[in-house]
Chains A and B, each alone.
Chain A
Amino acid sequence: DVVLTQSPLSLPVTLGQPASISCRSSQNLVYSDGNTYLNWFQQRPGQSPRRLIYKVSDRDSGVPDRFSGSGSGTYFTLRISRVEAEDVGIYYCMQGTHWPLTFGGGTKVEIK
């Protein structure tokens, strides 16, 4: 199975400051169609996950442009340019290239 390793586990951030989360895959996530099926999800306390980013860097409709995704192959990053209070929650990367589908362990973003 593909192992996704996220870091850090916990990310205390000052409001208005940037934040960055990394996701490292044990296998290359490029699929045979040329796409890389690496998604990022946000899970606020008490809510179900919400997709923010799909195929590495495509931002979902309604997601603030302070969220961005980058990376290739086995290393990926989610960036928040200026953290706001509503960004508190746990962020997960997830790969859809290889079966079984797998998730990273999560990064908890909190406000300092």
Chain B
Amino acid sequence: QVHLVESGGGVVQPGRSLRLSCATSGFTFNNFGMHWVRQVPGKGPEWLAVIWYNGRNQQYADSVASRFTISRDNSKNTLYLEMASLRAEDTAVYFCVRDARPEVYAANFDYWGQGTLVTVSS
């Protein structure tokens, strides 16, 4: 059974950094591309970033491209999102999402984690 468990969320001041993790189990992690998606409570989801199975290709939404970095450690079956220069508008629930394929030329989400809440506030 596929499990994706995000952690690392919390309250952070504007301008500070935070790293989210997504621990995975129940599947062969290095065979799948992975995404980060966020959702402001009461709003629709927003895709943020994707990383291919081997970590060699990443792509970002314009809204976070210069501030967020997606990475993965296949030896630990874990996905990361490094977030810098955080702003109030980054407040949201952050989800890691598995793609159905290793190389994500076109995206096909399948499994979502339960999410971790990030609140950017002074």
Q: Which residues of A are in contact with B by a Cβ distance under 8 Å?
A: 31, 33, 35, 37, 39, 41, 47-51, 54-55, 60, 92, 94, 96-97, 99-106
Q: List 13 A-B contacts (CB under 8 A).
A: A37-B107, A39-B109, A50-B112, A92-B44, A92-B45, A96-B107, A97-B106, A100-B59, A101-B47, A102-B47, A103-B46, A103-B47, A105-B44
Q: Nearest Cβ distance between residue A108 and chain B, in whole angstroms?
A: 11
Q: Which residues of chain B are near A102, meaning CB under 8 Å?
A: 47
In the bound complex, how far is the Cα of B46 from the Cα of A92, in angstroms? 11
In the bound complex, how far is the Cα of B114 from the Cα of A99, in angstroms? 24
In the bound complex, how far is the Cα of B93 from the Cα of A36, in angstroms? 28
In the complex, the answer to whether A106 meets B107 with C-beta atoms within 8 Å is: no
Q: Which residues of chain A are near B112, meaning CB under 8 Å?
A: 48-50
Q: Which residues of chain A are near B85, meaning CB under 8 Å?
A: none
In the complex, the answer to whether A54 meets B110 with C-beta atoms within 8 Å is: yes
In the bound complex, how far is the Cα of B45 from the Cα of A97, in angstroms? 17
Q: Nearest Cβ distance between residue A105 and chain B, in whole angstroms?
A: 6
> Given A99-B59, A100-B62, A103-B46, does the pair A48, B113 have CB atoms closer than 8 Å?
yes
Q: Nearest Cβ distance between residue A44 and chain B, in whole angstroms?
A: 12
Residue of B44, B47, B113, B114 most packed against chain A (CB within 10 A) = B44
Beta-carbon nearest neighbor of B6 in chain A: A48
Q: Which residues of B are in contact with A by a Cβ distance under 8 Å?
A: 35, 44-47, 50, 59, 61-62, 95, 100, 105-115
In the complex, the answer to whether A48 meets B44 with C-beta atoms within 8 Å is: no
Beta-carbon nearest neighbor of A4 in chain B: B44
In the bound complex, how far is the Cα of B50 from the Cα of A101, in angstroms? 10
Q: Which residues of chain B are near A39, meaning CB under 8 Å?
A: 108-109
Residue of A51, A60, A94, A100 most packed against chain B (CB within 10 A) = A100
Q: Nearest Cβ distance between residue A51 and chain B, in whole angstroms?
A: 6
**Among B62, B108, B111, which residue has its beta carbon within 8 angstroms of that of A55?**
B108
Q: Nearest Cβ distance between residue A21 and chain B, in whole angstroms?
A: 14
A33-B106, A35-B106, A96-B108 known; 5 new pairs, CB 8 Å cut-off, are: A39-B108, A48-B114, A92-B45, A96-B107, A105-B44
